[in-house]
Amino acid sequence: MSGLSTSMLVAAATAQRASADIDRQDATIARACLRRCGGAGTVLLRLIDHALGRAGLAVLERLLLPGLRAHYAWRKRRIANWAQHACEQGVAQVVMIGAGYDGLGCALAQRHPQLQVYELDRPASIAIKREALNELCLHPSRLRLLAVDLARTDAIAALRDCADFDAGRPTLCIAEGVLMYLDPARADSLLRQLAQALADPSLIATVMASQAGRPGFRREHRWVHAWLQRRGEPFRWGCARDELSQRLRACGWQLQTLADPEDRLDPDPSPGEWLFLAQRPDA
Ligand SMILES: C[S@@+](CC[C@H](N)C(=O)[O-])C[C@H]1O[C@@H](n2cnc3c(N)ncnc32)[C@H](O)[C@@H]1O
């Protein structure tokens, strides 16, 4: 994989947070993935491992998108808590859509001996993740890595190709930081399929907020938009807060909890991405 991607930025933020509030294993996985991401991954690792590099990254962040790394931490903390609660409540399968270099799937499979976890991502990212987990001897047999280009292939078809996947079992789907990169019709169709094909589904997902009709973070510099375009990862759609329920309903989901970016005790450090929990209305 060449060049810098958004999944590498998230992984670098995870690796940098290692000593603070997250499981060290997540950081170990993120580092092992970055080591396999070619020159850009190596440079990112060098930067986060040196005081001067970290200072440079902090300045860049302040100029381009203040609070981005803390935003990742904010959303990952909530997702991990919601997913843990869902597993304790009897979810039997977790489907992570666009899992990238995140360690949550691995951690959940280790923690819950009956749980099956399926991670879906592009073939290049899956190859990197597979090698990284093998190197670390961190590949539980109940964690399946599926190479799927969601822009072309149906997630459900890919899951059904797995002998142990059972659409009849309670299933938590997690789509963190991925739906915005899909064409809006494709994202809707993915959500609709998950709601229809799974007997007992729940959903944790994020979608970009719309700022003056354009998807993006509230405080992002216009260069961010240009960089994402150049990287081939533009935010393709976003949604205003009051449109989210309706959009989910049209795809067969009912919004249950929206993480409040203005939470008095734990506000989102860089608002612009909605994080929510949804159920099917009949659940
Ligand atoms: C910003 S990263 C988020 C990764 C991870 N969910 C996290 O939050 O740590 C976006 C992820 O979505 C994946 N992705 C984007 N478009 C995709 C597509 N068409 N098919 C499969 N995966 C895709 C990328 O490869 C990448 O891993």
Ordered by start, the domain boundaries in the chain are 67-279
User: For 87, what's the count of Cα atoms within 13 Å in the CB-facing half-sphere?
Assistant: 23
Residue 121 CA, ligand 1 centroid: distance in Å: 6
pLDDT, tens digit (0-9, with 9 covering 90-100), for 131-153: 999 999 998 899 999 999 999 99
Q: Work out the mean pLDDT of the chain and round it to a whole number.
A: 95
Find out if CATH 3.40.50.800 is the number for domain 67-279: no
pLDDT of residue 261: 97
Strand-pairing partners, residue 245, are: none
Token pair 């860089």: residue: 270
10 CA closest ligand 1 atom index: 9
Instruction: Tell me which of 75, 180, 181, 237 to substitute to probe ligand 1's pocket, judged by most ligand atoms within 8 Å of the beta carbon.
Output: 181
pLDDT of residue 212: 80
pLDDT, tens digit (0-9, with 9 covering 90-100), for 189-227: 999 999 999 999 999 999 999 978 899 999 999 999 999
Ligand 1 pocket, residues with Cβ under 6 angstroms: 6-7, 10, 98-100, 102, 121-122, 125, 148-151, 176-178, 181
d(CA 244, CA 164) in angstroms, rounded, equals: 33
Residue 152 CA, ligand 1 centroid: distance in Å: 14
Instruction: Tell me which of 2, 7, 150 to substitute to probe ligand 1's pocket, judged by most ligand atoms within 8 Å of the beta carbon.
Output: 7
In our burial notation (b when 16+ CB lie closer than 10 A, e otherwise), range 217-245 reads bebbeeebbebbeeeeebbbbbbeeeebb
End-to-end Cα separation, the chain, in angstroms? 41
Which residue type does 214 have? R
Strand-pairing partners, residue 202, are: 172, 279
